Amino acid sequence: MSARIVAFVALLLIGLTTRHWAGPAHADSFPNSITSACSGRCAATVLAGIQLETSMEEVFGVRGEFTPPWGYEFSKGFFLGGTFSFELFDFNSLIGFEAEAGLGQRFGTLHETEVWGAVYLRWKYFPWNHIVKTTVAVSTGVNYASSVPNYEILQSGNGKGSNALHYFSPEITFALPSAPEQELVFRIHHRSGGSEWWGENHPIFGDMFGNTAGGVQYVTAGIRHRF
């Protein structure tokens, strides 16, 4: 059932990301009423990816062990998801803040459903934007999985894992200046408790995520339509 729900949401989001609305807006036109209300601040995204076994520490080299993308290790787990986001604030087309809600389904070695809510901080200005419009963003939020698989229990560091974990998913986007509303998105879809960073006795996160360390993550690519 959960896979059917995700498939339906993905098809709906694909329709939003690929359809170009033209002509005058009408009060009884559902797509036009949405775009009119959003005024370019909304976005729908479809993402698909493969499970990443390389740790985030190695991806970003935060502890002196950097692994380039061509050295990443993958497993036979896959992910399909969709998101809806809304830009809360834009500062002079340099920095934006966005709220996002997402739904995803794991396939292959794992089979759980995920939902999440997050806030993204996005940097929008790069000197080559007149050639390829580029943005980078990072998130903070909460991701909830329908169950905790053995894979996450082994990664948890506490022998049990947690359904709810922190959602930290950096991304980079690319778009043509002539069609900035259509973006190519690359994101690391990552959930973890982070207890190895802030410790089991942290007054907030220790209790929130049950002193859980790692979770599951995917390297994903997708398309986004802003409207």
Give the count of domains, the chain.
1
Tokens of 11: 């098809």
Q: Which domain holds residue 200?
A: 2-226
**pLDDT tens digits, one per residue of 80-128:** 999 999 999 999 999 999 999 999 999 999 999 999 999 999 999 999 9
In the predicted structure, residue 15 carries a pLDDT above the cut 80? no
pTM of the model: 0.83
N-term to C-term CA, the chain: 30
Give me the chain's average pLDDT, please: 86
- Is-contact 13 82, C-beta < 8 A? yes
From start to end of 33-94, where are the E strands? 42-52, 74-91
Residue bearing the bigger pLDDT, 224 or 31 = 224
Mean pLDDT of 154-166: 91
User: Which 3 state secondary structure label does DSSP give 71?
Assistant: helix
User: CATH number, domain at 29?
Assistant: 2.40.160.20
Mean pLDDT of 141-145: 96
- Is-contact 34 227, C-beta < 8 A? yes
Measured distance CA(104)–CA(222) in Å, rounded: 13
Q: Identify the CA nearest to 47 among candidates 144, 216, 188, 226.
A: 188
